Amino acid sequence: MNQNILAPRGTQDLFGKRAYRWHEIKKIIRNIMDLYGLSEIITPTFEYTELFERSVGEETDVVQKEMYTFLDKGGRSITLRPEGTAGAVRACIQNNLLQGNLPLKLFYFANCFRYEKPQAGRFRELNQFGVEVFGASGAEIEVDMISMLMRIFAEFKITRGLTLAINSIGCKVCRKSYVDALNEYFAKHKESYCSTCQTRMNKNLLRVLDCKQEKCTALNETAPKITEYLCPDCKKEFIRLQNLLQLNGIAFKIDNKLVRGLDYYNRTVFEFIARTPDGNNLAVLGGGRYDDLVQSLGGSQTPAFGFGMGLERLLMLLEEQNYEFSTPKSCDVFIVNASKGNPDAETLAWQLLADLRKQNIASELDVMQRSVKAQFKYADKINANFCIVIGEDECKTKMLTLKNMKNSEEKQMVYEEVLNYLCQQQQ
Ligand SMILES: [Zn+2]
Ligand SMILES: [Zn+2]
Protein backbone atom coordinates (compact mmCIF):
# COMPACT_ATOMS: atom_id res chain seq x y z
CA MET A 1 0.00 0.00 0.00
CA ASN A 2 1.15 3.55 -0.75
CA GLN A 3 2.86 4.94 2.39
CA ASN A 4 1.09 8.26 1.99
CA ILE A 5 -2.32 6.81 2.67
CA LEU A 6 -1.51 4.65 5.69
CA ALA A 7 -3.19 5.65 8.96
CA PRO A 8 -1.42 8.71 10.41
CA ARG A 9 1.12 8.15 13.17
CA GLY A 10 -0.46 7.96 16.60
CA THR A 11 -3.79 6.59 15.42
CA GLN A 12 -5.11 3.06 15.51
CA ASP A 13 -7.74 0.89 13.89
CA LEU A 14 -9.95 -1.20 16.15
CA PHE A 15 -11.74 -4.20 14.69
CA GLY A 16 -13.01 -7.67 15.50
CA LYS A 17 -12.61 -8.70 19.12
CA ARG A 18 -10.97 -5.42 20.13
CA ALA A 19 -13.80 -3.28 18.76
CA TYR A 20 -16.20 -5.48 20.71
CA ARG A 21 -14.12 -5.07 23.88
CA TRP A 22 -14.08 -1.32 23.33
CA HIS A 23 -17.86 -1.19 23.54
CA GLU A 24 -17.99 -3.61 26.42
CA ILE A 25 -15.75 -1.27 28.43
CA LYS A 26 -18.09 1.64 27.70
CA LYS A 27 -21.13 -0.43 28.58
CA ILE A 28 -19.72 -1.41 31.96
CA ILE A 29 -18.81 2.20 32.69
CA ARG A 30 -22.27 3.43 31.59
CA ASN A 31 -23.96 1.03 34.01
CA ILE A 32 -21.90 2.39 36.86
CA MET A 33 -22.74 5.97 35.80
CA ASP A 34 -26.43 5.09 36.19
CA LEU A 35 -25.76 3.66 39.62
CA TYR A 36 -24.07 6.86 40.78
CA GLY A 37 -26.57 9.23 39.19
CA LEU A 38 -24.54 10.76 36.37
CA SER A 39 -25.97 11.70 33.00
CA GLU A 40 -24.21 11.83 29.66
CA ILE A 41 -23.18 14.95 27.78
CA ILE A 42 -22.07 14.89 24.17
CA THR A 43 -20.24 17.95 22.87
CA PRO A 44 -18.64 18.77 19.51
CA THR A 45 -15.27 17.35 18.50
CA PHE A 46 -14.01 20.84 17.69
CA GLU A 47 -14.42 24.21 19.37
CA TYR A 48 -13.09 27.70 18.80
CA THR A 49 -9.40 27.76 19.73
CA GLU A 50 -9.94 30.55 22.22
CA LEU A 51 -11.93 28.23 24.49
CA PHE A 52 -8.89 26.03 25.11
CA GLU A 53 -6.50 28.96 25.42
CA ARG A 54 -8.72 30.46 28.10
CA SER A 55 -9.39 27.24 30.02
CA VAL A 56 -6.48 24.84 29.65
CA GLY A 57 -4.08 27.78 29.83
CA GLU A 58 -1.98 29.53 27.22
CA GLU A 59 1.32 28.53 28.80
CA THR A 60 0.57 24.82 29.10
CA ASP A 61 2.22 22.18 26.90
CA VAL A 62 -1.19 21.21 25.61
CA VAL A 63 -1.93 24.65 24.18
CA GLN A 64 1.64 25.52 23.24
CA LYS A 65 2.63 22.36 21.44
CA GLU A 66 -0.04 19.71 21.22
CA MET A 67 -3.22 21.13 19.71
CA TYR A 68 -4.52 20.41 16.23
CA THR A 69 -5.46 23.95 15.25
CA PHE A 70 -6.48 25.25 11.84
CA LEU A 71 -8.39 28.07 10.18
CA ASP A 72 -11.74 26.97 8.78
CA LYS A 73 -13.05 28.26 5.44
CA GLY A 74 -14.58 31.20 7.28
CA GLY A 75 -11.22 32.19 8.71
CA ARG A 76 -12.02 31.29 12.34
CA SER A 77 -9.41 29.45 14.35
CA ILE A 78 -10.72 25.98 15.18
CA THR A 79 -9.15 23.35 17.43
CA LEU A 80 -9.86 19.64 17.67
CA ARG A 81 -10.51 19.23 21.39
CA PRO A 82 -7.35 18.24 23.27
CA GLU A 83 -9.36 17.31 26.39
CA GLY A 84 -12.99 17.09 27.46
CA THR A 85 -13.45 19.52 30.33
CA ALA A 86 -13.42 22.82 28.44
CA GLY A 87 -16.17 21.74 26.04
CA ALA A 88 -18.31 20.32 28.84
CA VAL A 89 -18.03 23.55 30.85
CA ARG A 90 -18.77 25.65 27.77
CA ALA A 91 -21.87 23.55 27.06
CA CYS A 92 -23.12 23.85 30.64
CA ILE A 93 -22.88 27.64 30.57
CA GLN A 94 -24.31 28.01 27.08
CA ASN A 95 -27.29 25.72 27.78
CA ASN A 96 -27.96 27.12 31.28
CA LEU A 97 -27.46 23.69 32.81
CA LEU A 98 -25.99 25.21 35.95
CA GLN A 99 -29.27 27.00 36.71
CA GLY A 100 -31.01 23.67 37.29
CA ASN A 101 -30.70 21.12 40.06
CA LEU A 102 -27.26 20.99 41.64
CA PRO A 103 -25.02 19.15 41.85
CA LEU A 104 -24.97 18.59 38.13
CA LYS A 105 -23.18 15.30 37.52
CA LEU A 106 -22.08 14.63 33.95
CA PHE A 107 -19.99 12.03 32.15
CA TYR A 108 -18.83 11.73 28.57
CA PHE A 109 -16.85 9.66 26.13
CA ALA A 110 -14.87 12.09 23.99
CA ASN A 111 -12.29 11.51 21.31
CA CYS A 112 -9.52 14.04 21.88
CA PHE A 113 -6.54 15.05 19.78
CA ARG A 114 -3.01 15.84 20.91
CA TYR A 115 0.13 16.12 18.88
CA GLU A 116 2.33 14.13 21.26
CA LYS A 117 5.06 11.56 20.88
CA PRO A 118 3.11 8.33 20.52
CA GLN A 119 3.95 5.62 23.08
CA ALA A 120 2.33 2.51 24.53
CA GLY A 121 -1.30 3.27 25.24
CA ARG A 122 -0.94 6.90 24.17
CA PHE A 123 -2.26 8.05 20.83
CA ARG A 124 -2.69 11.32 18.97
CA GLU A 125 -6.37 10.58 18.70
CA LEU A 126 -7.24 9.44 22.17
CA ASN A 127 -10.57 8.54 23.69
CA GLN A 128 -11.37 9.88 27.07
CA PHE A 129 -13.95 8.79 29.57
CA GLY A 130 -14.52 11.92 31.62
CA VAL A 131 -16.64 13.09 34.52
CA GLU A 132 -17.43 16.69 35.50
CA VAL A 133 -19.54 17.55 38.54
CA PHE A 134 -20.70 21.08 39.25
CA GLY A 135 -22.08 22.90 42.28
CA ALA A 136 -20.51 20.99 45.18
CA SER A 137 -17.50 22.58 46.84
CA GLY A 138 -16.55 20.10 49.53
CA ALA A 139 -14.74 16.82 49.96
CA GLU A 140 -18.02 14.82 49.90
CA ILE A 141 -18.41 14.96 46.13
CA GLU A 142 -14.73 14.20 45.65
CA VAL A 143 -14.92 11.10 47.82
CA ASP A 144 -18.19 10.04 46.20
CA MET A 145 -16.59 10.25 42.74
CA ILE A 146 -13.41 8.51 43.91
CA SER A 147 -15.50 5.70 45.38
CA MET A 148 -17.25 5.45 42.02
CA LEU A 149 -13.83 5.02 40.43
CA MET A 150 -12.98 2.29 42.93
CA ARG A 151 -16.13 0.55 41.78
CA ILE A 152 -15.05 0.85 38.15
CA PHE A 153 -11.61 -0.56 38.92
CA ALA A 154 -13.18 -3.37 40.95
CA GLU A 155 -15.52 -4.17 38.06
CA PHE A 156 -12.52 -4.41 35.72
CA LYS A 157 -10.52 -6.34 38.34
CA ILE A 158 -7.73 -3.77 38.26
CA THR A 159 -6.18 -4.29 41.65
CA ARG A 160 -2.50 -4.94 41.03
CA GLY A 161 -0.57 -2.08 42.58
CA LEU A 162 -3.57 0.23 42.33
CA THR A 163 -2.69 3.39 44.20
CA LEU A 164 -4.66 6.56 44.78
CA ALA A 165 -2.36 9.58 45.05
CA ILE A 166 -3.83 12.86 46.31
CA ASN A 167 -2.54 16.35 46.82
CA SER A 168 -3.86 19.84 47.41
CA ILE A 169 -2.44 22.61 45.28
CA GLY A 170 -4.22 25.26 47.33
CA CYS A 171 -6.23 28.25 46.21
CA LYS A 172 -5.31 31.54 44.59
CA VAL A 173 -4.43 32.98 48.00
CA CYS A 174 -2.11 30.31 49.37
CA ARG A 175 -0.63 29.31 46.04
CA LYS A 176 0.87 32.80 45.82
CA SER A 177 3.01 32.30 48.92
CA TYR A 178 3.91 28.82 47.76
CA VAL A 179 4.95 30.02 44.32
CA ASP A 180 7.13 32.67 45.97
CA ALA A 181 8.85 30.00 48.05
CA LEU A 182 9.31 27.80 44.99
CA ASN A 183 10.74 30.70 43.01
CA GLU A 184 13.25 31.30 45.70
CA TYR A 185 14.25 27.62 45.77
CA PHE A 186 14.45 27.31 41.98
CA ALA A 187 16.53 30.47 41.74
CA LYS A 188 19.14 28.81 43.95
CA HIS A 189 19.21 25.56 41.95
CA LYS A 190 18.23 26.68 38.47
CA GLU A 191 21.43 25.54 36.73
CA SER A 192 21.11 22.00 38.10
CA TYR A 193 17.65 21.43 36.55
CA CYS A 194 17.10 20.16 33.01
CA SER A 195 16.50 22.69 30.23
CA THR A 196 12.76 21.95 30.04
CA CYS A 197 12.43 22.69 33.73
CA GLN A 198 14.41 25.89 33.36
CA THR A 199 11.92 27.07 30.75
CA ARG A 200 9.00 25.99 32.91
CA MET A 201 10.32 28.01 35.81
CA ASN A 202 9.42 31.14 33.89
CA LYS A 203 6.09 30.05 32.47
CA ASN A 204 4.49 27.13 34.27
CA LEU A 205 6.32 26.82 37.52
CA LEU A 206 4.36 23.99 39.14
CA ARG A 207 5.09 21.69 36.22
CA VAL A 208 8.75 21.58 37.28
CA LEU A 209 7.58 19.31 40.09
CA ASP A 210 6.22 16.92 37.47
CA CYS A 211 9.57 16.35 35.74
CA LYS A 212 10.61 12.72 35.49
CA GLN A 213 14.31 13.42 34.88
CA GLU A 214 16.43 11.93 37.63
CA LYS A 215 18.40 15.05 38.51
CA CYS A 216 15.18 17.07 38.70
CA THR A 217 13.29 14.56 40.85
CA ALA A 218 16.22 14.52 43.27
CA LEU A 219 16.18 18.32 43.52
CA ASN A 220 12.40 18.36 43.88
CA GLU A 221 12.68 16.10 46.94
CA THR A 222 13.95 19.01 48.97
CA ALA A 223 11.83 21.73 47.32
CA PRO A 224 9.16 23.47 49.44
CA LYS A 225 5.98 21.40 49.76
CA ILE A 226 2.62 22.92 48.89
CA THR A 227 0.91 21.29 51.86
CA GLU A 228 3.11 23.36 54.17
CA TYR A 229 1.80 26.57 52.60
CA LEU A 230 -1.94 25.88 52.51
CA CYS A 231 -4.19 28.57 53.98
CA PRO A 232 -6.47 27.49 56.88
CA ASP A 233 -9.46 26.86 54.58
CA CYS A 234 -7.51 24.78 52.08
CA LYS A 235 -5.83 22.86 54.88
CA LYS A 236 -9.20 22.14 56.51
CA GLU A 237 -10.64 20.82 53.21
CA PHE A 238 -7.58 18.67 52.55
CA ILE A 239 -7.86 17.08 55.99
CA ARG A 240 -11.59 16.54 55.51
CA LEU A 241 -10.84 14.76 52.23
CA GLN A 242 -8.41 12.45 53.99
CA ASN A 243 -10.85 11.74 56.81
CA LEU A 244 -13.70 10.97 54.43
CA LEU A 245 -11.49 8.67 52.35
CA GLN A 246 -10.57 6.81 55.52
CA LEU A 247 -14.21 6.65 56.58
CA ASN A 248 -14.96 4.93 53.27
CA GLY A 249 -12.04 2.54 53.59
CA ILE A 250 -10.23 4.01 50.57
CA ALA A 251 -6.45 3.80 50.86
CA PHE A 252 -4.44 6.73 49.51
CA LYS A 253 -1.04 8.33 49.66
CA ILE A 254 -0.22 12.02 49.64
CA ASP A 255 2.04 12.97 46.76
CA ASN A 256 3.27 16.53 47.14
CA LYS A 257 4.71 16.51 43.64
CA LEU A 258 1.38 15.78 42.02
CA VAL A 259 0.30 19.05 40.37
CA ARG A 260 -1.40 18.08 37.06
CA GLY A 261 -0.46 19.85 33.86
CA LEU A 262 -3.43 22.10 33.31
CA ASP A 263 -3.94 25.62 34.61
CA TYR A 264 -7.47 25.41 35.90
CA TYR A 265 -7.03 23.16 38.92
CA ASN A 266 -7.18 24.28 42.54
CA ARG A 267 -7.17 22.44 45.87
CA THR A 268 -7.67 18.68 45.36
CA VAL A 269 -5.78 16.95 42.57
CA PHE A 270 -5.52 13.17 42.33
CA GLU A 271 -4.27 10.32 40.22
CA PHE A 272 -4.78 6.58 40.10
CA ILE A 273 -1.73 4.52 39.31
CA ALA A 274 -1.81 0.84 38.37
CA ARG A 275 1.03 -1.60 37.88
CA THR A 276 1.47 -3.30 34.51
CA PRO A 277 2.36 -7.02 34.44
CA ASP A 278 5.98 -6.10 33.68
CA GLY A 279 6.14 -4.06 36.86
CA ASN A 280 5.87 -0.53 35.51
CA ASN A 281 3.65 2.07 37.10
CA LEU A 282 1.01 3.42 34.78
CA ALA A 283 -1.09 6.48 35.55
CA VAL A 284 -4.55 5.37 34.43
CA LEU A 285 -6.52 8.40 35.48
CA GLY A 286 -6.16 11.91 36.81
CA GLY A 287 -8.28 14.86 37.78
CA GLY A 288 -9.06 17.46 40.35
CA ARG A 289 -11.04 20.44 41.48
CA TYR A 290 -11.46 23.53 39.31
CA ASP A 291 -13.61 26.06 41.15
CA ASP A 292 -12.83 29.10 38.99
CA LEU A 293 -13.12 27.73 35.47
CA VAL A 294 -16.88 28.21 35.04
CA GLN A 295 -16.62 31.85 36.03
CA SER A 296 -13.56 32.49 33.91
CA LEU A 297 -15.49 31.23 30.88
CA GLY A 298 -18.39 33.57 31.57
CA GLY A 299 -20.64 31.58 33.91
CA SER A 300 -21.42 32.36 37.53
CA GLN A 301 -19.03 31.24 40.27
CA THR A 302 -19.56 27.45 40.41
CA PRO A 303 -17.36 24.94 42.20
CA ALA A 304 -16.46 21.95 40.05
CA PHE A 305 -14.56 18.69 40.15
CA GLY A 306 -13.68 16.21 37.43
CA PHE A 307 -11.36 13.65 35.97
CA GLY A 308 -10.47 11.95 32.71
CA MET A 309 -9.34 8.46 31.88
CA GLY A 310 -7.83 7.32 28.59
CA LEU A 311 -9.77 4.37 27.21
CA GLU A 312 -6.82 3.16 25.10
CA ARG A 313 -4.75 2.80 28.24
CA LEU A 314 -7.56 1.06 30.02
CA LEU A 315 -8.03 -1.41 27.15
CA MET A 316 -4.29 -2.03 27.04
CA LEU A 317 -4.17 -2.65 30.78
CA LEU A 318 -7.16 -5.00 30.69
CA GLU A 319 -5.69 -6.99 27.82
CA GLU A 320 -2.33 -7.22 29.58
CA GLN A 321 -4.04 -8.45 32.72
CA ASN A 322 -6.05 -11.00 30.71
CA TYR A 323 -9.38 -9.55 31.75
CA GLU A 324 -12.16 -11.90 30.69
CA PHE A 325 -14.17 -9.96 28.16
CA SER A 326 -17.39 -11.55 27.03
CA THR A 327 -17.28 -12.99 23.54
CA PRO A 328 -19.37 -11.70 20.66
CA LYS A 329 -22.47 -13.78 19.92
CA SER A 330 -21.68 -16.23 17.15
CA CYS A 331 -23.96 -17.48 14.40
CA ASP A 332 -26.83 -19.65 15.67
CA VAL A 333 -27.97 -21.07 12.36
CA PHE A 334 -26.37 -21.36 8.97
CA ILE A 335 -28.77 -22.30 6.18
CA VAL A 336 -27.14 -24.67 3.72
CA ASN A 337 -28.77 -24.55 0.31
CA ALA A 338 -28.19 -27.96 -1.29
CA SER A 339 -30.29 -27.21 -4.32
CA LYS A 340 -28.82 -24.06 -5.82
CA GLY A 341 -30.72 -22.78 -8.80
CA ASN A 342 -33.96 -24.40 -7.67
CA PRO A 343 -36.44 -21.51 -7.21
CA ASP A 344 -38.43 -23.39 -4.51
CA ALA A 345 -35.29 -23.99 -2.44
CA GLU A 346 -34.29 -20.37 -2.90
CA THR A 347 -37.70 -19.13 -1.67
CA LEU A 348 -37.70 -21.50 1.28
CA ALA A 349 -34.16 -20.53 2.29
CA TRP A 350 -34.88 -16.78 2.27
CA GLN A 351 -38.20 -17.27 4.03
CA LEU A 352 -36.54 -19.33 6.74
CA LEU A 353 -33.76 -16.77 7.12
CA ALA A 354 -36.29 -13.98 7.63
CA ASP A 355 -38.36 -16.00 10.12
CA LEU A 356 -35.30 -16.99 12.16
CA ARG A 357 -34.08 -13.41 12.39
CA LYS A 358 -37.56 -12.27 13.39
CA GLN A 359 -37.10 -14.51 16.43
CA ASN A 360 -33.71 -12.88 17.11
CA ILE A 361 -31.89 -16.04 16.11
CA ALA A 362 -28.57 -15.01 14.49
CA SER A 363 -28.74 -16.60 11.05
CA GLU A 364 -26.90 -16.54 7.76
CA LEU A 365 -27.07 -18.17 4.37
CA ASP A 366 -24.55 -18.66 1.61
CA VAL A 367 -23.89 -15.58 -0.50
CA MET A 368 -20.79 -16.92 -2.25
CA GLN A 369 -22.17 -19.63 -4.59
CA ARG A 370 -20.34 -22.27 -2.56
CA SER A 371 -20.78 -26.03 -2.92
CA VAL A 372 -22.64 -27.89 -0.15
CA LYS A 373 -19.38 -29.15 1.27
CA ALA A 374 -17.87 -25.67 1.24
CA GLN A 375 -20.99 -24.26 2.90
CA PHE A 376 -20.63 -26.71 5.80
CA LYS A 377 -16.96 -25.86 6.06
CA TYR A 378 -17.77 -22.15 6.21
CA ALA A 379 -20.46 -22.76 8.86
CA ASP A 380 -17.81 -24.53 10.90
CA LYS A 381 -15.39 -21.64 10.51
CA ILE A 382 -17.87 -19.06 11.73
CA ASN A 383 -18.65 -21.35 14.64
CA ALA A 384 -22.34 -21.81 13.77
CA ASN A 385 -24.29 -23.82 16.32
CA PHE A 386 -26.69 -25.37 13.81
CA CYS A 387 -27.04 -25.92 10.10
CA ILE A 388 -30.35 -26.36 8.33
CA VAL A 389 -30.11 -28.11 4.98
CA ILE A 390 -32.53 -27.19 2.25
CA GLY A 391 -32.69 -29.35 -0.86
CA GLU A 392 -35.22 -30.63 -3.34
CA ASP A 393 -36.62 -33.19 -0.90
CA GLU A 394 -37.05 -30.61 1.82
CA CYS A 395 -39.02 -28.40 -0.56
CA LYS A 396 -41.37 -31.24 -1.39
CA THR A 397 -41.83 -32.79 2.06
CA LYS A 398 -41.53 -29.55 4.06
CA MET A 399 -39.38 -31.55 6.49
CA LEU A 400 -36.12 -29.79 7.36
CA THR A 401 -32.88 -31.36 8.53
CA LEU A 402 -31.38 -29.61 11.52
CA LYS A 403 -27.78 -30.49 12.19
CA ASN A 404 -26.19 -29.71 15.54
CA MET A 405 -22.68 -28.63 14.56
CA LYS A 406 -21.24 -29.28 18.02
CA ASN A 407 -22.18 -32.96 18.26
CA SER A 408 -23.20 -33.71 14.63
CA GLU A 409 -26.66 -34.89 15.73
CA GLU A 410 -29.32 -34.56 13.04
CA LYS A 411 -33.04 -34.05 13.54
CA GLN A 412 -35.88 -34.01 11.02
CA MET A 413 -38.57 -31.49 11.80
CA VAL A 414 -41.29 -29.57 10.06
CA TYR A 415 -40.79 -25.85 9.52
CA GLU A 416 -42.68 -24.61 12.62
CA GLU A 417 -41.04 -27.18 14.85
CA VAL A 418 -37.60 -26.02 13.80
CA LEU A 419 -38.44 -22.44 14.69
CA ASN A 420 -39.88 -23.46 18.07
CA TYR A 421 -36.96 -25.72 18.84
CA LEU A 422 -34.40 -23.03 18.02
CA CYS A 423 -36.31 -20.44 20.06
CA GLN A 424 -36.13 -22.75 23.08
CA GLN A 425 -32.40 -23.21 22.51
CA GLN A 426 -32.01 -19.44 22.86
CA GLN A 427 -33.34 -19.39 26.41
ZN1 LIG B 1 -5.89 28.32 50.11
ZN1 LIG C 1 13.46 18.58 34.61
Q: How far apart are CA 149 and CA 147, in angstroms?
A: 5
197 Cα–ligand 2 center, Å = 4
| Ligand 2 centroid distance, CA of 386 (Å) | 63
pLDDT at 260 over 80: no
Which pLDDT score, from 0 to 100, does residue 203 have? 78
Which numbered ligand comes closest to the C-alpha of 209?
Answer: 2
Using the mean position of ligand 1's atoms as its centre, give its distance from the Cα of residue 139 in Å: 15
The CATH code belonging to domain 333-426 is 3.40.50.800
If one counts every other C-beta atom within 10 angstroms of the C-beta of residue 192, the result is 13
For residue 192, the CA-to-ligand 2 centroid distance in Å is 9
Domain ranges of the chain: 3-171+231-320, 333-426
Q: How far is the CA of 122 from the centre of ligand 2 (A)?
A: 21
Ramachandran bin of 341, using left for φ above 0, alpha for ψ from -120 to 50, beta for the remaining angles? left
CB-proximal residues (5 Å) to ion ligand 1: 170-171, 173-174, 231, 234
Mean pLDDT value across residues 334-352: 92
User: Residue 261: which pLDDT band, with cuts at 50, 70 and 90?
Assistant: low
pLDDT by residue (tens digit) across 121-180?
Answer: 789 999 999 999 999 999 999 999 999 999 999 999 998 789 999 999 999 889 888 989
**Distance in Å, CA 259 to ligand 1 centroid:** 15
- How far, in Å, is the centroid of ligand 1 from the Cα of 237? 9
Note the ligand closest to the C-alpha atom of 172. Answer: 1
142 Cα: distance to centroid of ligand 1 (angstroms): 17
How far, in Å, from the CA of 231 to the mean position of ligand 1?
A: 4
- Span of 98-112, 276-290, 350-364 with lowest mean pLDDT: 276-290
Distance 69 CA to ligand 1 centre (A): 35
Q: Cβ(269)–Cβ(286) under 8 Å?
A: yes
Predicted TM-score (pTM) of the model is 0.90
Protein residues placing their CB within 5 Å of the ion ligand 2: 194, 197, 211, 213, 216
Closest CA to 11 of 82, 111, 130, 78: 111
pLDDT single digits (tens) 292-316: 999 999 999 999 999 999 999 999 9
Q: Give residue 230 CA to ligand 1 midpoint distance, Å.
A: 5
Is residue 333 within 8 A of residue 361, CB to CB? The reply is yes
Q: Identify the pLDDT of residue 27.
A: 97
Distance from residue 120's CA to the centre of ligand 2 (Å) = 22
What's 3-171+231-320's CATH class?
alpha beta
Q: Rounded CA gap, 258 and 402, in Å?
A: 64
Residue 210's pLDDT is: 81
Residue 389 binned pLDDT confidence (cut-offs 50, 70, 90): very high
Res 120 pLDDT > 80: no
Rounded distance from Cα 136 to ligand 1 centre (Å): 17
CB-neighbour burial class of residue 232 (10 A; exposed 0-12, middle 13-18, buried 19+): exposed
Q: Are 52 and 62 in contact (CB under 8 A)?
A: yes
Using only C-alpha atoms, the chain has a radius of gyration, in whole angstroms, of: 29
DSSP secondary structure, 255-274, as one string: -TT---S-TT-EEEEEEEEE
What ligand has the least distance to the C-alpha of 177? Answer: 1
Which pLDDT score is estimated for 45? 98
Q: What is the tens place of the pLDDT at every residue in 15-35?
A: 999 999 999 999 999 999 999
Tell me the CA–centroid distance for residue 194 and ligand 2, in Å: 4
Tens of pLDDT, residue by residue over 31-83, are 999 999 999 999 999 999 999 999 888 878 888 899 999 999 999 999 999 99
CA 238 to ligand 2 centroid distance, Å: 28
For position 341, what pLDDT does the model report? 85
Give 195 Cα–ligand 2 centroid separation in angstroms: 7
Secondary structure element (H or E) that encloses residue 152, with its range: helix 139-155
Contact criterion met (CB below 8 Å) for 163 and 255? no
Measured in Å, residue 184 CA sits from the centre of ligand 2 at 17
| Phi–psi pair at 165, nearest 5 degrees | -110, 130
The answer on pLDDT for 262 being more than 70 is: no
Q: Which ligand is nearest to the CA of 174?
A: 1
For 189-194, the CB contacts below 8 A with 24+ separation are: 189/219, 192/219, 193/219
Per-residue pLDDT at 254? 95
- What is the average pLDDT value for the chain, to the nearest integer? 93
